[in-house]
Amino acid sequence: MKVKVIPVLEDNYMYLVIEEHTREAVAVDVAVPKRLLEIVGREGVSLTTVLTTHHHWDHARGNAELARLRPGLAVLGADERICALTRRLVHGEELRFGAIHVRCLLTPGHTSGHMSYFLWEEECPDPPAVFSGTGCPAPPAPPPSDPAPPSLTAGPPQGMRCRWLVVACAWRAQPWAACPRRR
């Protein structure tokens, strides 16, 4: 799995994730479609899917133009407000692009329909990647009967390699189920 980090606008990023054997590519948070397509061409990959973390313009404004330029492109996300959405994803859903696995994690807070994506390949020395868009909100406080979360300063477990370590609510299976919906 190869991840291309693409700086856009003044302080944002979009990403191109490449499955190196099939040369299939997935884009994350398309804000500037022509720039993305330049890189797709340079890399010689086939762009099949867009994963959108949330509906805000700086993460989704390129979806409609990209879908127009690439008929049949899948535009996925959790929020019906995402421009050019072709399929709505749900929390816990898993996708596959060649050898790349994607786990969809609903992480409302920045927006009510915010989705983060955890990507990995089986039996691959490359570390996994998490795409969280604008970032992850702080988890709700655990009920008093739940054990306290592990120290956030300890870092990842020994031997674990991560591009990004996103700390989520480790003491619940569905940490965001109790959060109020925000717009």
In a domain, 162, yes or no: no
Total structural domains within the chain: 1
In a domain, 153, yes or no: no
In a domain, 123, yes or no: yes
The residue whose two tokens read 């702080």 is 138
Please tell me the distance from the alpha carbon of residue 28 to that of residue 59, in angstroms, as a whole number: 8
Quick one: how far is CA 80 from the chain centroid? 16
pLDDT value of position 110:
83
User: Is residue 73 within 8 Å of residue 48, measured between CB atoms?
Assistant: yes
Task: Spell out the per-residue pLDDT of the chain, length 183, in tens.
Answer: 999 999 998 888 999 999 999 999 999 999 999 999 999 999 999 999 999 999 988 889 999 999 999 999 999 999 999 999 999 999 999 999 999 999 999 998 888 899 999 999 988 888 899 998 875 444 444 444 444 434 333 333 444 344 433 323 222 233 333 333 333
Torsion (CA) 131, 111, 169, 120 in degrees, nearest 10: -20
In a domain, 68, yes or no: yes
Q: What's the token pair of residue 63? A: 């979806």
Domain span holding position 56: 2-131
In a domain, 45, yes or no: yes
Stated pTM of the model:
0.74
CATH of the domain at 84: 3.60.15.10
Q: What's the token pair of residue 94? A: 């898993």
In a domain, 177, yes or no: no
In a domain, 87, yes or no: yes
User: Is residue 3 within 8 Å of residue 129, measured between CB atoms?
Assistant: yes
Please tell me the distance from the alpha carbon of residue 30 to that of residue 64, in angstroms, as a whole number: 10
In a domain, 60, yes or no: yes
Please tell me the distance from the alpha carbon of residue 170 to that of residue 40, in angstroms, as a whole number: 36
Phi-psi region of 130 (alpha: psi -120 to 50; beta: other; left: phi over 0): beta
